[in-house]
A and B are shown apart, each in its own frame.
Chain A
Amino acid sequence: MDWHLMVKSIPILLNGAVLTIELSAAAVAFGTVIGLSIAMGRLSRHKLLAWPAGAYVDFFRGTPLLVQIYLIYFGLPQILNFTPPDSYQYIAGVIALSLNSGAYIAEIFRAGIQSIDRGQTEAARSLGMTQAQAMRYVILPQAFKRVVPPLGNEFIAMLKDSALVSVISIEELLFSGKIIVGRTFKPFEIYIEVAVMYLILTLTISRLVNYLERRLAKGDTR
């Protein structure tokens, strides 16, 4: 074991880890907006909304993320006929991760919304509220609390899945490791180190999620 190399690599890998966190946070943030809209679409009574939303979820959950990344990084510039700007890989990476995350988050929201007792909607509707008002003031505030833990888990999944964007040269954690390996030919030391860093990230987040979950469970009814 080349301990010296491992210590020396820490700063570069930490830089990568920061980018990994940023990518995942961006993906989950955009994914939440996308997911909420898609979930609303899926739950809509209008087929014209429900069907495309369902197709969206099926596509992004049913195809490999790596293929989605290639489609957006290589495919989009070709079909839309534009020359990718210099840092296009970041844009493509965030788009791909967000679209993918959006599909999973849509299902999280859908489950959260459906877990709210039907009597809540009925009470709201019986008071003259529209479907949209019932959703906004009665259902969503309750559903949001229930989706926090699964959203945290989605963030953890994203921390790991974002490693895939290393194939389009985004210097996140895995890519940073690859570069060091390329220079030093010490794959074992470096990839173990990379793995440990992912582990620290995911364990930390999962602790946080557990803590939040307990906090929310205490005040579950409000």
Chain B
Amino acid sequence: MIRVNNLYKHFGKLEVLKGVTAHIREKEVVVVIGPSGSGKSTFLRCLNKLEECTSGEIVIDGIPLNNDDTNINAVRREVGMVFQRFNLFPHMTALQNITLAPMKVRKLDKQEAEVQARALLRKVGLEDKADVYPDQLSGGQLQRVAIARALAMRPKIMLFDEPTSALDPEMVGEVLAVMKDLAREGMTMVVVTHEMGFAREVGDRVLFMDEGIIMEEGPPDRLFNNPQNPRTKGFLSKIL
């Protein structure tokens, strides 16, 4: 589903990704962990080309990203992204946030888009918030609307960049619950998170990223209980 080979990314002189290789299968849930500044967000953002990689190869669902012929908007339609800071559109209601892209990009008519949006709001437990503006929603609700918004494009892959890091602790659970549902439904997911419980429960594989490379990877139980790389050990001892 996602094939990343030898990915490099520089910001000017700063080397952020230094040869990342990762293959992610369909329906796999991959959790990415690692210290701050190790390049996790950059890696995720390269996957839908919010960030242009310097060199290397990314193939999403058979479509090479760095090929000039590839219509990047077409790829982005298949790859949903959820951000740490929600990035809901503040001038639109929850419903409008969700219907905008399907109407403008997928060319659904308004009614179809709204039916779908209401179904998605129900799915994330916010059907009563359809006509509410983002400034009236709590962090956890905002993030659930953001997930619904991404799902409205019917993506094949969902990327999550620390979706619960900006939330008050009591709201983390409601967002993780939605993500767990998604995982169970067979969504291909790449999740940057520090929620080890989530990683253990629904993660198929954990990638430990440090200094711009994937230092170690493995199934969550193996990686958390028996890390091989000293840097993984060091990192885990700090956060577990």
Contacts and interface: CB of A to CB of B under 8 A. Distances in A.
A125 B83 contact: no
Contact of B83 (A122, A129, A137, A145): A122
A129 B97 CA distance: 13
Nearest to A133: B104
A117 B133 CA distance: 17
Contacts of A126: 48, 50, 76, 79-81, 150
Centre residue among B90, B106, B133, B146 by max chain A CB count within 10 A: B90
Nearest to B102: A127
Contact of B101 (A119, A127, A145): A127
B132 to A, nearest CB: 11
A137 B106 CA distance: 15
Nearest to A126: B81
A123 interface: yes
Contacts of A138: 89, 100
Given A137-B104, A221-B135, A127 B87 contact: no
Contacts, number: 71
B177 interface: no
A128 B76 CA distance: 5
A120 interface: yes
Nearest to B84: A119
B76 A125 contact: yes
B85 interface: yes
B89 A129 contact: no
A165 B153 CA distance: 55
A interface, by DSSP: helix, strand, loop or mixed?
helix
B134 interface: yes
B50 A221 contact: no
B101 A129 contact: yes
Interface residues of B, number: 29
B42 to A, nearest CB: 13
Contacts of B81: 122-123, 126
A122 to B, nearest CB: 5
B118 interface: no
A128 B73 CA distance: 5
Interface in B137-158: 146, 149-150, 153
Contacts of B153: 127-128
B50 A129 contact: no
A142 interface: yes
A141 interface: yes
B115 interface: no
A127 B90 contact: no
Interface in A95-125: 117, 119-120, 122-125
A8 interface: no
Given A122-B87, A142-B91, A129 B80 contact: no
A141 B91 contact: yes
Given A221-B135, A222-B135, 19 more contacts: A117-B87, A119-B83, A120-B89, A122-B81, A123-B89, A123-B149, A124-B101, A126-B50, A127-B76, A127-B80, A127-B105, A128-B76, A128-B77, A128-B106, A133-B104, A133-B105, A137-B104, A145-B91, A222-B92
16 contacts: A117-B87, A123-B89, A125-B76, A126-B150, A127-B77, A127-B149, A127-B153, A128-B73, A133-B105, A137-B100, A137-B104, A138-B89, A221-B90, A221-B134, A222-B91, A222-B133
Interface of B: 48, 50, 73-74, 76-77, 79-81, 83, 85, 87-92, 100-101, 104-106, 133-135, 146, 149-150, 153
